[in-house]
Amino acid sequence: MRLYKYRSNFKRDLRTLSKGQIYAPTYDNLNDPFEGIFNDSEDKSIIEIFKPFSNEAEKSYNSVLEQLYKSGIYSLSKNYDNETLWALYADSHKGFVIEYDLTSLISDFNFNANIPLAYEVDVEYRNEPAKSNLLLSSLKKEFNITPLIGTKSKPWKVENEFRLVFQMSGLININFNSITSIIFGLRATDENIHKTMKILKGRGIKYFKMSKMENTYKLTKVSIEDQFQNFKCIPKRVVVKDIDIPNECAYLKKEIFKVLKNILQLPNITGIYNFYFDTEAVNPKIKVFATTTFEKIPLRYFQYKVENNNIELDI
Residues 182 and 288 in one domain: no
pLDDT at 235: 65
Number of domains into which the chain is organized:
2
E strand spans, the chain: 2-7, 21-24, 72-77, 96-101, 118-122, 124-126, 151-153, 161-166, 170-173, 179-184, 206-212, 219-224, 269-278, 285-292, 299-307, 310-313
pLDDT at 84: 95
Residue 164 lies in a domain: yes
One-letter amino acid identity for 15? R
Bridge partners of 201, per DSSP, are: none
pLDDT at 311: 83
Residue 238 lies in a domain: no
Q: Which residues of the chain have pLDDT under 50?
A: none
pLDDT in tens, 211-259: 999 999 999 999 999 999 888 776 666 666 667 777 777 778 888 888 8
pLDDT in tens, 88-122: 999 999 999 999 999 999 999 999 988 889 999 99
Residue 241 lies in a domain: no
CB 146 within 8 A of CB 124: yes
pLDDT at 182: 97
pLDDT at 215: 93
pLDDT at 221: 97
Residue 235 lies in a domain: no
Residue 198 lies in a domain: yes
Between CA 211 and CA 12 the distance in angstroms is: 25
Q: Residue 311 contacts by C-beta under 8 Å, 6 or more apart in sequence?
A: 252, 255, 256, 258, 259, 286, 304, 305
Residues 126 and 255 in one domain: no
Residue 127 lies in a domain: yes
Sign of the C-alpha dihedral computed for residues 52, 53, 55 and 61 taken in this order: negative
Between CA 310 and CA 305 the distance in angstroms is: 8
Residues 191 and 266 in one domain: no
Residues 202 and 307 in one domain: no
pLDDT at 73: 95
Q: Could you tell me the pTM of the whole model?
A: 0.89
Which residues constitute the domain of residue 265?
Answer: 247-313
Residues 59 and 149 in one domain: yes
Residue 53 lies in a domain: yes
